[in-house]
Amino acid sequence: MISTATYQATHTGPPILPGLEVSGRQEATRACEIWRFDEQDRLIGNEMFTDLLGVAIELGDVTLPEATVQALNLQVPPRVPMKYGS
């Protein structure tokens, strides 16, 4: 099974990447998770992939060259509406 999610948080620490300063900024991390099951449908493992470059861009710790932004048609920093609570 494959699932995707967007995790939203405020960057208060500890740093998630080496050398990243705690900023207090809100950010949204995109992730993809692959779940593996055996023949009896028991969970036997999973792998999670997250967009840490996107996090670093949102927090202002990485700046992409303007030519890269234009070539990839990116919105920098990427914005995901922050929704807390239910």
Say which residue, 50 or 64, is predicted with more confidence.
Answer: 50
The reported pTM is 0.54
Q: Is the dihedral of CA 61, 65, 70, 72 positive or negative?
A: negative
Examine residue 68 and state whether it is found in any structural domain, yes or no.
Answer: yes
Bigger pLDDT: 40 or 6? Answer: 40
What's the number of domains the chain is made of? 1
| CB-CB neighbours of 86 under 10 Å | 3
Which is more confidently placed, 75 or 82? Answer: 75
Report if residue 39 sits inside a domain: yes
Q: Would you say residue 84 has pLDDT above 60?
A: no
**Residue 2 pLDDT level (bands cut at 50, 70, 90):** very high
The answer to whether position 61 is within a domain reads yes
Q: Is 50 exceeded by the pLDDT of residue 66?
A: yes
- CA-to-CA distance for 32 and 53, rounded, in angstroms? 14
Whether 78 maps to a domain, the answer reads no
Domain assignment of residue 14, given as a range:
2-72
Residues 6+ away with beta carbon under 8 Å from 1: 34, 35, 37
C-alpha 14/C-alpha 66 separation (Å) is 30
Does any domain span residue 86? no
In whole numbers, what is the pLDDT of the chain averaged over residues? 77
